Chains A and B, each alone.
Chain A
Amino acid sequence: GAVVSQHPSRVICKSGTSVKIECRSLDFQATTMFWYRQFPKQSLMLMATSNEGSKATYEQGVEKDKFLINHASLTLSTLTVTSAHPEDSSFYICSATGKGQGLPYNEQFFGPGTRLTVL
């Protein structure tokens, strides 16, 4: 139980295009989803936290218009990198927590990550 998927696992795009990454909780309802960015040999950096049906809360320094997050349902959150540039190349990881479903409310379940390369 408590499986989170991400799609795509890898994406290569041209500079200036937009890329959408999906994060799905497969067997539970995700009340909160988190989006992280990870540069090589570094820790995870929290980009934003989103609760279903409400606007995402972005961390300081993360551009809201650049990284659009939509948490439209209890099983799906999307991250859209708009007008991507080479400096946006990174490993993006989502996670989710679920409440009231026999899940520990304070444990994150992580997706496998998406490797974005912008040419």
Chain B
Amino acid sequence: AQSVTQLDSHVSVSEGTPVLLRCNYSSSYSPSLFWYVQHPNKGLQLLLKYTSAATLVKGINGFEAEFKKSETSFHLTKPSAHMSDAAEYFCVVSDNYGQNFVFGPGTRLSVLP
């Protein structure tokens, strides 16, 4: 069985400061991990993914995440927040068969001017 925990339901940062969105997972096998962003009333956009290659993954819009197996974590970071980053972020874990995807509860990121 797989599960995902996003420790913060809401994160608020000032524009230009670093962003850290936390994600911990549980999986009985080597997982694939994804971060998606969702703006209000929109679909999901893939930010980045880990699929057993490099543990430090770089994504779009300056985001990156590091897969840490020992900590079962896949935290999302960005050095400098932009107003346009304000959105809902979902961490997702999947098996390696493309059939089973588990979503985290989401973290709402607010960016203050």
Q: Which residues of A contact B (CB under 8 A)?
A: 6, 31-32, 34, 41-44, 46, 49, 91, 93, 95, 97, 99, 104-108, 110-113, 115
Question: B43 contacts A107, CB within 8 Å?
Answer: no
- The smallest beta-carbon distance between A98 and chain B, in angstroms, is 9
Using a CB-CB cutoff of 8 Å, which residues 82-113 of chain B contact chain A? 90, 92, 94-99, 101, 103-106, 108
Cα of A44 to Cα of B92 in the assembled complex, Å = 11
Question: B43 contacts A44, CB within 8 Å?
Answer: no
Asked whether B46 is an interface residue with its Cβ less than 8 Å from the other chain, the reply is yes
Question: A91 contacts B101, CB within 8 Å?
Answer: no
Asked whether B56 is an interface residue with its Cβ less than 8 Å from the other chain, the reply is no
Chain A residue at minimal CB-CB distance from B32: A106
Q: How many A-B residue pairs have CB under 8 A?
A: 56
Question: A108 contacts B90, CB within 8 Å?
Answer: no
Cα of A44 to Cα of B106 in the assembled complex, Å = 9
- The residue in B34, B94, B98, B103 that gathers the most chain A C-beta atoms within 10 A of its C-beta is B98
Given A32-B98, A43-B103, A49-B99, decide whether A112 and B43 contact each other with a Cβ distance below 8 A. Answer: yes
B23-38 near A? 1/0 per residue, CB < 8 Å: 0000000001010100
Question: B106 contacts A42, CB within 8 Å?
Answer: yes
Question: A43 contacts B98, CB within 8 Å?
Answer: no
Partner of B106 from the list A6, A43, A46, A112 (CB cut-off 8 Å) is A43
Cα of A112 to Cα of B106 in the assembled complex, Å = 18
Question: B98 contacts A97, CB within 8 Å?
Answer: yes
